[in-house]
Structure 1
Amino acid sequence: MALRTIFFLKVCKKEKAVFKDVKDKVWVFDVEWVPDPVTGKSLYGLAEDTPDEDVIQEMWKKGGATDENPMPYLKTVLCRVVSISVVTRTVSNGETKLHLLSLPRDSKDPAQVAEAHIVETFLSAIGTRKPQVVGYNSHAADLKILIQRGLANGIQVADFCRRPNKPWEGIDYFARGSDWNVDLIEIVGGWGKSNPSLNEMVTVCGIPGKITGDGQQVAPLWLDGELDKIIAYNEFDSLTTYLLWLRLAYFGGFFTSEQYAHEQELLQELLKTESEKPERAHLRDYLAEWERLRAERS
């Protein structure tokens, strides 16, 4: 048996088939980022007055851009966080409540748009409220960029970073395999090319995927000052990740069929309520697509 195969089997034995439980507080999140012009200027010795677009083009070039792939995936440490969206599920006194929250809350406020504010606000909230966090490829990407860019911005999030002496003595967001930090791709994914993208995974599940384009639109939108559109795209991804988590929780037996249907109704009601707000009218498109897909499978 090849050494690589042996290593893979050993890794798989350590991973759980699914998370052990569903906590009373669950935060399903998604992060959007773009190449950071400030980092690009410093790393590649570009003049301070170099336009952001030119800096980003140079970063893509250094990152291996080709005619077929002009915007290659860059190391997350070279990028800046521009938006975080999270679906929160809280159970209290037998009642379940959902909320859709996004940072920055006000895309026109420079203080809220600042990367340090976005990262510190989110990680500090996790450290204070101690939810079970859920993402898709979050161990390798979303959570890592938050830590990397937190360091780059010189912030402090002591409560988030606090770790127990032993795994069973408290919450640990840094331990791989921790039930307080669930990465869905490590449950549904495989090895190498067998790893499904979020869009691929949810499409086969009848869950809305990429409705308004893909991640390669984020940097151009940011350069054009269209942060609201990035936040809308970010919210779609967090909702999609939440629905995938919900499906997996049902798959694992944490919800009965009736409870699973009720959980979906709660999200449907949230979308209806939130989409009535002018700044969240885009959620009508998500709701319509979800209802269309559900009707096809009924």
Structure 2
Amino acid sequence: MIKFVHHTVWAFDAEWTPDPLAGRMLYNLDEDLTDAQVLAEMWKQGGATEENPTPYLKTALCRFISIAAVVRRQHQDGTITVTLMSLPEEVADTQAPYAKEDAVLSRFLQGVGEKKPQLVGYNSISADIKAMLQRGIIRGMHQPKFAHRPNKPWEGVDYFARGGDWHVDLKEVVSGWGQFTPSLHEMATLSGIPGKMDVAGDQVPQMWLDGRLADIVAYNEFDALTTYLLWLRMVHFSGHFDGATYQNEQNLVRALIEREGAQKPHLLAYLQQWERLTKMTTA
């Protein structure tokens, strides 16, 4: 199921939106069109209907807005630290250099390539990592450390081997057939972990057009926390953590949320929802 827990784990999630530049280039659109008008045409070309006006577009046509990760480190003395990483770190301006796709994506890929963590995601093999590869290539990035693959599985870290141990896609672990595969929201909520709260993924493009970068990053952080907590539960299920260790690992996340909550009040709302669901599952 899950073969090992590395001393460094990044449970991550990413948010993206249709890229206006991609729309202008692919469909030869007038440069005077607004970004909102370009996105409307992209959705039209992507098969929009009255029932589904914003269909899911190919990820190559989308730009990354935010990437968040819960970072777990086991130090040489055995102590565990849990931190929250969010890109971009500043959220005041969607047009600032730090909010550009190149800055967000290259920092994440460079960090993964240098730190070599065990990656954990939900639908990350088919979606997140493939989208990062597509956009990295499209943007002309140079990421040899991230892209490196060993000649043999036991000779190094490989993020691209399906069924490998360095990139754990929780969806693949629990997947069924088609409609029987649970979403992250379903799997988490039924486990007593917050799933989607006030925002859903299909709202992100409009939030981006409205300049609500802070709200997108907050939503991204929620999903990263949810992915990490679900990973903890699955690691406990698979025998890597006993009951006491699992409880301690959850306490570290609570401490993280309380610590960060002073500057990020939305995290305290996440904690409140977590406590409510926990009570329901233990009643």
TM-score by length of 2: 0.97
1:6 corresponds to which residue?
none
Distance 2:175 2:47 in 1: 26
2:73 corresponds to which residue?
90
Residue number among 47, 55, 73 corresponding to 1:72 in the alignment: 55
**1:107 matched to 2:94:** no
Distance 2:254 2:142 in 1: 37
Check the 8 A contact 2:189/2:277 in 1, yes or no: no
Q: CA deviation at 1:193?
A: 1.4
Q: Could you list the runs of 5+ residues in structure 1 that have no partner in the other structure?
A: 1-17
1:288 corresponds to which residue?
272
Query: Residue type of the partner of 1:26?
Result: V
Deviation track 1:121-176 (CA, whole Å, cap 9, x = no partner) reads 00110010010000000011111111111111111111111111111111111111
Deviation track 1:58-82 (CA, whole Å, cap 9, x = no partner) reads 1111111111111111110010000
Check the 8 A contact 2:121/2:170 in 1, yes or no: yes
1:15 corresponds to which residue?
none
Residue number among 137, 142, 151 corresponding to 1:165 in the alignment: 151
| Shift >3 Å, 4+ stretches | none
1:240 corresponds to which residue?
226
Identical aligned residues as a percent: 52
1:81 corresponds to which residue?
64
Which stretch shifts more, 190-199 or 248-257?
190-199
Q: CA deviation at 1:297?
A: 2.2
**1:218 matched to 2:201:** no
Q: Aligned runs of 1:21-40 on 2, under 5 Å?
A: 21-40=4-23
Deviation track 1:215-247 (CA, whole Å, cap 9, x = no partner) reads 011001000000000000000000001111011
Q: CA deviation at 1:177?
A: 1.3
1:197 corresponds to which residue?
183
2:253 corresponds to which residue?
267
Query: Residue type of the partner of 1:269?
Result: A
Query: Residue type of the partner of 2:142?
Result: Q
Partner SS, residue 236 of structure 1:
helix
Distance 2:200 2:181 in 1: 18
2:133 corresponds to which residue?
147
Q: CA deviation at 1:201?
A: 1.2
Distance 2:8 2:198 in 1: 30
Query: Residue type of the partner of 1:289?
Result: Q
Distance 2:281 2:61 in 1: 42
Q: Aligned runs of 1:176-195 on 2, under 5 Å?
A: 176-195=162-181
Which stretch shifts more, 122-131 or 106-115?
106-115
Deviation track 1:75-129 (CA, whole Å, cap 9, x = no partner) reads 1001000000000000002100000010001123612111011111001100100
Distance 1:112 1:252 in 2: 39
Query: Residue type of the partner of 2:120?
Result: V
1:13 corresponds to which residue?
none
Query: Residue type of the partner of 2:30?
Result: A
Distance 1:201 1:294 in 2: 14
Q: Aligned runs of 1:27-66 on 2, under 5 Å?
A: 27-66=10-49
Deviation track 1:9-55 (CA, whole Å, cap 9, x = no partner) reads xxxxxxxxx12001100000000000000000111110112100011
Q: CA deviation at 1:179?
A: 0.5
Distance 2:33 2:212 in 1: 21
Partner SS, residue 206 of structure 1:
coil
1:12 corresponds to which residue?
none
Distance 2:279 2:171 in 1: 27
**1:156 matched to 2:126:** no
| Aligned residue pair count | 279
Partner SS, residue 38 of structure 2:
helix
Distance 1:166 1:216 in 2: 40
TM-score by length of 1: 0.92
